[in-house]
Amino acid sequence: MISRYKYHKLTWVDMESPTNEEVRQIMEEFDIHPIVADELLGPSLRPKIDQYENFIYLILHFPAIRHSHQSKSQEVDFIIGKEFLITVRYELLDPLHKFSKVFEVNSILDKSEIGEHAGFLFFYMIRKIYNSLGHELLIIGDTLKSIEERIFAGEERKMVKELSIIHRDLLEFHRALRMHRGVLHSFADVSGDFFGKPFAHYTENIIGEYLKVEEMLQDQKEVLGDLHSTNNSLLTTKTNEIMKLLTATTFIMLPATFIGQLFGMRTENTPLIGHPHDFYIVLSIMVLVALTTFIVFKIKKWL
């Protein structure tokens, strides 16, 4: 599927899971190199950047937004020319969809601040994507605060799964973004030659937006690690308390069990057996021994 957006001399072509015919059409219209056109037919494994005579080819992977129900990593291919920008994706990317609505309205009203070449269009687009990722990390941060409150409210066992889900999400963020720094620095180098030195300010801003997301990601990972350690410590403490209680109960009941078995032996010379109140006497001895053991445990602070 191909969507087109125009603003003065600039053209943005957004392609979702393009077919061979659609790629061939774009290749002929914008003079796209056949090697690049071939790569557009399917997802790539790694981010990269290549410079051609009339455009810059950039591949980036972004973590999927949690509520989008998409795959773990979403790829976007950017072909950035002087007067055109082509984006190729293989599933819906919410930030790009929202950006298209804003771009369309601004183009109609002629109120957009987009500059004279497509590099500026890429700048506003990538900044929108990084802002969306930052917002997603803020949501994860709010979730971690809620988990912290529930941990100290006694829901440690329930929070084990919640913490694991957050860990998985942050891991996917790290996997998708870990190569952005190098690719963006390479883009800053080639874009200076392609668009001119004045564009360097915008490439620095793009790197700055990425670094904000990276810093937020590191902060959330540290908070998650601290909460995970705290939750494990509380679970271990609770488990130890339960084991201590079970052990103490066993020791308290052991003497009474021994006495009951001792007087339950069928021998002729067993003391108290045959006495009119033998049952109550043996029972009293068992209770007395158990009570004495309990008091000793309390004094020793074993309970």
**244-299 has which CATH code?**
1.20.58
Instruction: Give the contacts of 32 (CB within 8 A, at least 6 positions apart).
Output: 26, 55, 79, 86
Percent of the chain at pLDDT > 70 equals 84
pLDDT of 287 strictly over 70: yes
21 pLDDT higher than 70: yes
Q: What is the mean pLDDT of residues 34-50?
A: 84
Reported confidence tier of residue 45, pLDDT bands at 50, 70, 90:
confident
Is the confidence at residue 279, as pLDDT, over 80?
A: no
pLDDT tens digits, 58-104: 999 888 765 544 446 788 899 998 888 988 888 777 777 777 777 66
User: What is the average pLDDT across 271-275?
Assistant: 64
What does the pLDDT average to over 159-186?
Answer: 88
Does pLDDT of 257 surpass 80?
A: no
- Please report the pLDDT score of residue 71 as a whole number: 44
Rounded Cα–Cα distance for residues 39 and 23 (Å): 10
The domain spans of the chain are: 2-236, 244-299
CATH class of the structural domain 2-236:
alpha beta
pTM of this prediction exceeds 0.85: no
Is pLDDT larger for residue 224 or for residue 287? 224
Res 109: pLDDT: 41
242 has pLDDT over 80: no
